[in-house]
Amino acid sequence: MRLFHFERRWLRSLCEAMLPGGVRPGLPGAGDVPLERFFDEFTRSAPLDAAIGVRAFTWVLTLAPLVWRLRTFGSLRPSDQVRMLHALEGSRFYVVREVPGLIKLVACLAWASQPEVQRALGVPQPDDRPPPWAVLP
């Protein structure tokens, strides 16, 4: 399974809101990682139900703001994006509470695999080689 271009763009927007840059000097954000290539690798190699879950949860999170206002997640201000994610995480429905966390888990797989992130986090022996999907051809 492969995500459509607009789905990769939506997923990138979600990841950037969950792992923003500039939080700590020297610590890259999700926007500093080649996420689209990771998404392609993940949806190609992950079990089909995991890939379908990422696609479905991306749609849910991107379109969730339509319930409150006529905007998608990517068109919200960063502070409103964070507020919306926190509201979903506080839902009384288990599935709704877990959706942001599952997308953040996928984002962290890409983000934390980067040598510069590992060094900034103080990993004792960071892997200096980026994963194959992160190496430009």
pLDDT tens profile 98-117: 999 999 999 999 999 999 99
Which tokens sit at 96? 């709704």
Distance CA 119, CA 131 (A): 15
- The whole model's pTM is what? 0.90
Which tokens sit at 37? 């290539």
Q: Which residues, other chains included, contact 60 with Cβ-Cβ below 8 Å and sequence gap of 6+?
A: 99
Task: State yes or no: pLDDT of 120 exceeds 80.
Answer: yes
**129: number of Cβ within 10 Å:** 9
Q: If we measure between CA atoms, which residue out of 115, 106, 136 comes closest to residue 39?
A: 106
